[in-house]
A and B are shown apart, each in its own frame.
Chain A
Amino acid sequence: MMLSERAQKLIAQQRARYIESMPVKKQAIMRCIAEFNPSTQDGKPEWYDDLFQQVHRLAGSAGSFGLDSLGRAASVVDRHMSTRSFESGDPAELLSLLQKLIAEIDEVIRSQTT
């Protein structure tokens, strides 16, 4: 798809800004993981819907900025969360998927800083 030089430049700037926002996105997800204690959890926690929103946005946006691997990892979590309720899901499986997602975010941050 041919784009003008100006558009390419603007998109490159937006991509940079998007990648710069990764630490904030990671923090938001980490906060959820930290608060997540399946043994004491009774019912759906307040942050669950926020987490889903975060993951869903990542799934939708990462690929658009060329971060395909991150997009796929977020899609896996998105699909996991959208196909079952908090109560019917396996907390250990969700945590495992979130950790893989965090690893992908770290990878994006690392590739930017090196």
Chain B
Amino acid sequence: MMTGISERAAQYLREELLKRESYTVLVLAGDRTILSVQESNPDWHLAGLEQGLTLPESLSPLLDVSEGAPEPLVFPYVRISGMVIDVHVLQGEGPVELVLHDVTEAHLKEQTLQQRAHEISLLSERRAVLNKELEELNRELLLRRQQAEKASAAKSRFIASMSHEFRSPIASIMGYADLLRTELPDSRNPRALQQASWHLLTLVENLLEQAREGDENVSLNLSRFSLDRVVDDIDALFRTQADGKNLEFIVESSPHGVEIELDELRLRQILINLISNALRYTFAGQVSFHAEHRGNTLHLYVRDTGRGIAPLDLKRIFEPFTRVGEDNSSGAGLGLTITRQLVDRMDGKLEIESKPEVGSEFHVYIPCPRIHDTDSEALPLSGEVLWVDDDQYILSLYQVLLEDWGLTVHTASSVAQGKELMKQHVCPVVVSDLHLTDGDGFELLKEIWAEWPQTEGIIISGSEINDLSHGSTEKQARAFLQKPIDLKVLRSELVMAFAGVDST
């Protein structure tokens, strides 16, 4: 009796199992003659196993091995007539019985599973090898990338460093040219020297710009200047070159007398890059430059009757170190790349129209409010101003001027004195020299803003540094004025500063 279940249930299971299985039961005589054959179903028959026949050679050795064994023995996976059979040998009292149980299907399944397991094992080994190779490749790739980045950074540092080195002697040349202009007022040469220096400075700035590509921290140095002056300089800079190529060179600006606030050096860079390109690729006809201030936008048009640009080339002319067409022209191929970067940085746009063999037009427009739309002399001024400068002569001079314009002026000669006076008078507008004996004007403004954030600040200096942001402070001085200060600009700034204070 089976453990845990009844004899009846056990009998049922045996019968059900027997119905499903394919088997043959042989009863053997002592001389191994088959006394009886009982098969599970009519479809199941093993050839050579017939009543009265002797047990075949394929099964006989199994009886030899199991002779005298007290317990039933099982010989798995015996191949008979193309099938896989488990042979059970039952001995003891009475005749020997052989139960031949068909396990062909189960055996095939097991074989397939084993084959799969083997294949999986091989694949796993292969994968491990590939993973290792991949890891090595990744390591090498990372190393190469680090080396490339290091080389690129070193190259950029070198270019930036060399460009900085070039700046000083160029500034020196410009200074000497300035001196020469005073010594030789009737000669055109000093001015030509100064314009060529601007050109050289632009090329150096182009290199610097390329070296710091992707650096988000580059800020614009805004200053106020006359658009006419820049246009005149551009005319002087390129006219000789245009004459040398027998080209008509037209330079216009409208309206005259406009003062704008932009990064002057970057604007000159844009113009020099565009106009030098136009002159380089134009061999007959004309090159024209027109600057126009309309609304709150500065429009710059550079047109030429040169060989033009093919439509396919238009897509790649802004790629660095690219020069389209076949020619032997000089140039690094950086001009247009830098120009677009600069225009983008100034929140402007650059458009091109070009037809091969007809010519090109480059149109740059940059948001740029005009500074002196109204004559500030006509506007009244009143209020208190704190003026800080360590030069007593400057203090006295501007006190007289500002008082004459209707303002009350408090003067201080140091940062410390400025702070003290501010506490006493809380002036809405502070004008400070940049370099003071006990600090600088930006530091003073920062301290004042910490306590009186509405204060309007104006920085003045004999130097040419004009970065109004001066570090990471959020608030900026509203203007940087270079000495000697243009009185019209100063008055205009004061008018706007007081208007700004009143409107907050």
Contact = CB atoms under 8 A, between A and B. Distances in A.
Interface residues of A, number: 39
27 contacts: A1-B377, A2-B377, A4-B404, A6-B404, A7-B401, A7-B403, A7-B404, A11-B400, A14-B393, A14-B396, A56-B435, A57-B391, A59-B462, A60-B391, A60-B484, A61-B391, A61-B483, A64-B394, A64-B483, A64-B484, A72-B178, A73-B179, A74-B462, A75-B178, A75-B462, A82-B463, A83-B167
Interface string B465-504: 0000000000000000001110110010000000000000
B224 to A, nearest CB: 16
A48 interface: no
Nearest to A59: B462
Nearest to B174: A79
A11 B168 contact: no
B397 interface: yes
A62 B437 CA distance: 19
Contact of A1 (B397, B484, B487): B487
Interface in B442-481: 460-464
A76 interface: yes
Contacts of B394: 60-61, 64
A23 interface: no
B182 A72 contact: yes
A87 B215 CA distance: 31
Contact of B182 (A2, A10, A59, A69): A69
Nearest to A77: B175
B304 interface: no
Most chain A beta-carbon contacts within 10 A, residue among B393, B461, B491: B393
A56 B179 contact: no
Contact of A60 (B176, B178, B483): B483
Interface string A13-29: 01001100100000000
A84 interface: yes
B364 to A, nearest CB: 30
A35 to B, nearest CB: 21
Contacts of A11: 397, 400-401
B205 to A, nearest CB: 15
Q: Which 9 pairs from chain A and chain B are nearest by CB? A: A63-B484, A60-B462, A7-B404, A76-B175, A59-B462, A60-B483, A1-B487, A64-B484, A10-B400
B2 to A, nearest CB: 104
Contacts of A60: 391, 394, 433, 460-462, 483-484
B377 A14 contact: no
Contact of A64 (B168, B463, B485): B485
Contact of A7 (B176, B182, B400): B400
A62, A64, A83, most chain B CB atoms within 10 A: A64
B337 to A, nearest CB: 28
Interface of B: 167-168, 171-172, 175-176, 178-179, 182, 377, 390-391, 393-394, 396-397, 400-401, 403-404, 433, 435, 437, 460-464, 483-485, 487-488, 491
Contacts of A17: 393
B168 A83 contact: yes
A12 to B, nearest CB: 10
Contacts of A6: 404
A64 B400 CA distance: 13
A76 B178 contact: yes
Contact of B491 (A1, A65, A69): A1
A71 B482 CA distance: 12
B179 A76 contact: yes
Given A3-B404, A72-B178, A75-B175, A65 B377 contact: no
A71 B394 CA distance: 13
B180 to A, nearest CB: 11
Contact of A80 (B175, B377, B485): B175
A2 B179 CA distance: 31
Contacts of A97: 175
A87 to B, nearest CB: 14
Contact of B401 (A3, A53, A74): A3
A59 B393 CA distance: 13
B87 to A, nearest CB: 103
Given A14-B393, A59-B483, A60-B391, A100 B179 contact: yes
A46 B232 CA distance: 44
Given A59-B483, A76-B178, A100-B179, A65 B390 contact: no
B396 A63 contact: no
Given A6-B404, A11-B401, A72 B179 contact: yes
Contact of A71 (B168, B404, B484): B484
B168 A84 contact: yes
A62 B487 CA distance: 15
Nearest to A93: B172
B69 to A, nearest CB: 106
B390, B435, B487 — most chain A CB neighbours (10 Å): B435
Nearest to B435: A56
A10 to B, nearest CB: 5
A64 B397 contact: yes
Contacts of A1: 377, 487-488, 491
A73 to B, nearest CB: 6
A69 B435 CA distance: 22
Contacts of B178: 72, 75-76
Contacts of A71: 483-484
A89 to B, nearest CB: 9
Nearest to A15: B397
